[in-house]
Structure 1
Amino acid sequence: MNKKAIITSALPYANGEIHLGHVASTYLPADVTTRFLKMNGVEAYYVCASDDFGTPILIQSEKEGKTPAEYVAHWNKRDYEDFSAFNIDFDYFYKTSSTENISFVQDVFKKLNDSGHIYEKEIIQFYCNNDEKFLPDRYVKGICPYCKADDQYSDLCESCGRVPEEITDPKCSLCGATPTKEKTTHYFFKLKNFSDSLAKWLDEAPNLQKDVKKYVQNWIKSGLIDWDITRDIPWGVPVPLDGAEGKVFYGWFDNHLAYISTALKFLNDKGIDGKEFWNSADIYHFIGKDIVYHHYLFLPAMRLGIDSEYKLPDYIPTRGHLTLQSKKISKSRNWYIGLKQFLEYYPADYLRFYLVSINPYSQDDLNFDWDDFTTRINSELIGNLGNFVNRALGFTKKAFDGKVPEVDSFDEKDSEAEQKIKNFATDLSDLMEQNHLDRALKRIMEFSSFFNQYFQHKEPWKKGPGTANCVYLSVNAARALSIALFPFLPESSQKIWEQLGLDGEINKSSWSDMSLLGISPNHVLGDASPIFVKVEESDIEKHKNQLGPSE
């Protein structure tokens, strides 16, 4: 394992609140992974930034009577607060509109331009006579020329994931009128020139998902198109060339460069050489499947275009979209749950547990279902994990005044239980390193289930031979669980840690510590009380009724 890592997530667009769909695929898996790496002694930093530029922000800020800068500052602060409430523990959260990012983006562009990867071209662009403006991609909708899906943006088909050369049957998404075509001059990035080097990178990158690599390689084989990287709007990173006044970079040109500029700002401010660290670390970019094209083609090509001055990603963990009650999330139809709203109902750890449980390391879509949430929390988190911890610690308090007893020689069941603890860290590590977080959490629940059965089999309440061994091993299993759970359920794991009567913060524990029998005889436990509270079905019905009307 590399002892340095930089972790990023797709940047949240500073144009509205964070909802469950945002955190499921990118922020939560990145946070769990970062916590795991840190517990393994990796100098890991999780950095992110709000994505501040683009026409939607310009238009929405005008509607609210704010400057774009004021508008994005509001959402940057609000998003960070919501992430923090969900225990997404960024080491640094910045913004694409920072002076550092603007300067960095302009510098990368100049290098690409000097190396011959940029050219200027007069193009015909959609223009809305009704709104009297050139229409950026997000303001033209139509039919995808590749898969024929309707109601798609002209810069990304959400159905097939490709970037259309030109959308069919275009309409202005502001007013619905059919736009005209007018001449304007834009700058282009020679993406076509990178076909061979991108194919080589994909062939040689061992840690990228095979299924994603395969269809990106097919895109390359079918022919890449050069990429229009500028727009005619006043809100964005200005193009630093004479004669380019009034032009800014397209958001997808500048926003993923903020991964690098944000990391450099954070590391350099800490007195660490940011560039050197970046190039010697494992680089993780956590994304959703809708932005594969950008992260597997645009992002690496731009880094290749500046001679890999900043190394390409080692991992791009890509997951599917979250649906809600089996329907597509839609803010406009009120078919969504805001993160802030959810955390007013239930603790962050309930949502973290559920979303990791249902989220495989694949591009398969996942579904948030209120009834399934209730079942998993009540039967798995509470009925299995919470029940075991409460039984083990509660019985020790009641029968032994909270003092762990001296052990006798182990019988076969005791030895099996001891071995489970000793193998626990290794059993989980491979799954965590391979980003199978759902499987790792399932393994933790299987460990808890084993010890529930062990406790039941030993019947310590009968005070027969072997009672002390059962209590000793069960308390140590609870300790192992608290450490294993920390990346997933940081608040609950700390509560277990404190009930065990252990000092300090659990995040100071190393991952391998869970496989030690770290609680000795005569250790005194803290106060035991239930870690979790049951989810009531009557409350769930209220939450369901707040959705909609659905389609």
Structure 2
Amino acid sequence: MPTRRILVTSALPYANGQIHIGHLVEYMQTDIWARNLRMHGHQVYYVGADDTHGTPIMLRAEKEEITPQALIKRVWAEHKRDFDDFGISFDHYDSTDSADNQQLCEQVYLALAKKGLIDTREIEQAYDPVRAMFLPDRFIKGACPKCQAPDQYGDACEICGSTYQPTELVNPYSVVSGATPIKKISTHYFFRLSDPRCENFLRQWVAQLAQPEARNKMSEWLGVEDKDSQTTQLADWDISRDAPYFGFEIPNAPGKYFYVWLDAPLGYYASFKQLCAKEGLDFADWVKPDSTAEQYHFIGKDILYFHTLFWPAMLRFSGYRTPTNVFAHGFLTVDGQKMSKSRGTFITAHSYIQAGLDPEWLRYYFAAKLNGSLEDIDLNLDDFISRVNSDLIGKYVNIASRTAGFLAKHFNSCVLESAMHHPLLAQLRAALPEIATHYENRDSARALRRIMEEANAINLFIDTMKPWNQAKDPTQTSALHETCSVSLEAFRLLTLALKPVLPQLAAKVETFLSVAPLAWSHQATPLNAQQPLKPYQHLMTRVEAKQIDALLAANR
């Protein structure tokens, strides 16, 4: 198999809050995908960064009486801690507030301007006369113009679901100061997404998206192609914000700043550029238009618009390659409902760790739910307990715990090499390429179902052979040796198959089995009698209901 060069990212978490389990769905999905491809020997780089600019960062820093830089430095450390705790294998993790990112933003902007794709126009916005600042939609509240519900945000009503312009709110007020906003004119800068060059390119690019749901949604936004019409459904994209604003100032436009959604995706490249400098990679070769490298972005379905319209058009017309594909996932619910602080289900990543829960329990459960579609997934806490205990303890770990002791006691922890050709092992090895393909297709749910089918077959073999009885019968010594050897080689192969999902547990098993770090190519390299197994030690504990109760209590 030729070695592929792959750059992969997850959406950048905003530096204004903690990582919660809803975020972790995406990072775990991306990490499993990246680990699987690394196990094939491909050159895979997974990069990320904190998304650090915008009005919310500026206002929170003011509230805490610190600089925005101090705030984002603190939050970066918290985010990185959480990602490390959950085994998210970033090759580099940075911040969008970097010199490399500012340079990229300016370069892209000037390239778009040179192509006639930047426009300026006067727009009317809500303005806080007390704070002397323009107000983003989410910083204006008032009564909904449709249902009159009070204290609704300036873009949508949480009661009736209506969307509207901030100027339509009844009795509006600034969330920042409480003042009544006034209307004020300001010059803004726009990326001309409505330009026929952009529309024609996007129609072709969107058609190659891997997910049918994403293709269909983007096609709706693009509208039906009409070669005789001079209009498009695509609106130009406002890429500027007025001072005061925490971000990068637009070249030759004093007091105007790049909108966070322009500099955030370029943060992918800025983070990768820093990795390239550290590793001696040719950044330009990875991001040039005719690059043979692959580029993938994992995101939530709520930001498809930015990643499948703005981002590829921005890259295409500023001299960069476009993404190979964008993969979106659905939202997370807990026990069938939105995450809720009052119910204790708005669970932060750090609280999960502090409660003493194993992060790989959650990696396994989310992987068992993700199927590569845009469907929402549900964390049913009773099912979480049941599935982790049944699959990981009852079916998988149990194979080693039922047989390793007999191998140690009767055979000096050495396997019977002739047992490595057993038909059950041949069956399991034959399943591995299919499992690896499911991982690459982001259908980890199908991969894990297939793994558990094989685990069931191995447990049935152990139940049939009954090594506990074989050990009592001197005439069954050879049979006992074969039973234990087949079972533990099967355990090695199952560990290989589970490694993208359970890397920390796999590392423990590699030590126990006295084998090198497992890769897909190792499926045909079985255990051997010259490498005795280490003494078996407990690999994973069961989930207890009281642990979940304590977790919910900690998040209320």
TM-score by length of structure 1 reads 0.89
- Cα 1:319–1:173 change in 2 (3 A) is farther
More off after superposition, 471-480 vs 90-99: 471-480
The alpha carbon displacement at 1:359 in A equals: 2.6
1:294 is matched by which residue type in structure 2?
A: F
- Cα 1:174–1:438 change in 2 (3 A) is farther
Is the aligned partner of 1:359 residue 2:360? no
Which residue number corresponds to residue 328 of structure 2?
318
Contact 2:8–2:34 (CA<8 Å) still a contact in 1? yes
Structure 1 Cα separation of the partners of residues 552 and 31 of structure 2: 28
Structure 1 residues 486-519: Cα deviation after superposition (integer angstroms, max 9, x where no partner): 21111111111111132x4x2xx321313x2511
How many residue pairs match? The answer is: 532
Contact 2:300–2:331 (CA<8 Å) still a contact in 1? yes
Structure 1 residues 153-204: Cα deviation after superposition (integer angstroms, max 9, x where no partner): 667999999998778537444466663321111101101122221011122x
Which residue number corresponds to residue 228 of structure 2?
none
Structure 1 residues 464-491: Cα deviation after superposition (integer angstroms, max 9, x where no partner): 4643332222111111122222211111
Which residue number corresponds to residue 42 of structure 2?
42
Contact 2:436–2:497 (CA<8 Å) still a contact in 1? no
Contact 1:324–1:335 (CA<8 Å) still a contact in 2? yes
Which residue number corresponds to residue 436 of structure 1?
443
SS of the residue corresponding to residue 543 of structure 2 reads coil
Which residue number corresponds to residue 185 of structure 1?
187
Is the aligned partner of 1:458 residue 2:465? yes
Structure 2 Cα separation of the partners of residues 94 and 409 of structure 1: 46
Which residue number corresponds to residue 507 of structure 2?
494
Identity of aligned residues (%): 34
Contact 1:198–1:297 (CA<8 Å) still a contact in 2? yes
Structure 1 residues 509-530: Cα deviation after superposition (integer angstroms, max 9, x where no partner): 321313x251124541111122
Structure 1 residues 124-173: Cα deviation after superposition (integer angstroms, max 9, x where no partner): 01113354421024324689999x99988667999999998778537444
Contact 1:123–1:184 (CA<8 Å) still a contact in 2? yes
Structure 1 Cα separation of the partners of residues 45 and 188 of structure 2: 37
SS of the residue corresponding to residue 35 of structure 1 reads helix
Q: Give RMSD over aligned pairs.
A: 3.0
The alpha carbon displacement at 1:434 in A equals: 1.0
Structure 1 residues 86-123: Cα deviation after superposition (integer angstroms, max 9, x where no partner): 11111001111101101110111011111100011111
- Cα 1:156–1:395 change in 2 (3 A) is farther
SS of the residue corresponding to residue 261 of structure 1 reads helix
2:38 is matched by which residue type in structure 1?
A: K
- Cα 1:217–1:161 change in 2 (3 A) is farther
1:35-184 → structure 2 map (5 Å cutoff): 35-140=35-140, 168-169=168-169, 171=172, 172-174=174-176, 179-184=181-186
SS of the residue corresponding to residue 76 of structure 1 reads helix
More off after superposition, 68-77 vs 420-429: 420-429
Which residue number corresponds to residue 307 of structure 2?
295
SS of the residue corresponding to residue 53 of structure 1 reads coil
1:311 is matched by which residue type in structure 2?
A: R
Which residue number corresponds to residue 253 of structure 1?
262
Structure 2 Cα separation of the partners of residues 379 and 96 of structure 1: 42
Could you list the runs of 5+ residues in structure 2 that have no partner in the other structure? 225-232, 471-475
1:298 is matched by which residue type in structure 2?
A: F
Structure 2 Cα separation of the partners of residues 164 and 189 of structure 1: 23
The alpha carbon displacement at 1:311 in A equals: 1.5
The alpha carbon displacement at 1:533 in A equals: 1.0
The alpha carbon displacement at 1:282 in A equals: 1.2
Which residue number corresponds to residue 402 of structure 2?
391
Contact 1:330–1:336 (CA<8 Å) still a contact in 2? yes
Which of 358, 361, 365 is the matching residue for 1:350?
Answer: 361
Contact 1:161–1:290 (CA<8 Å) still a contact in 2? no
Contact 1:282–1:314 (CA<8 Å) still a contact in 2? yes
Structure 1 Cα separation of the partners of residues 277 and 538 of structure 2: 44
Which residue number corresponds to residue 482 of structure 2?
469
Contact 2:329–2:374 (CA<8 Å) still a contact in 1? yes
- Cα 1:105–1:176 change in 2 (3 A) is same
Which of 276, 280, 295 is the matching residue for 2:292?
Answer: 280
Structure 2 Cα separation of the partners of residues 159 and 356 of structure 1: 34
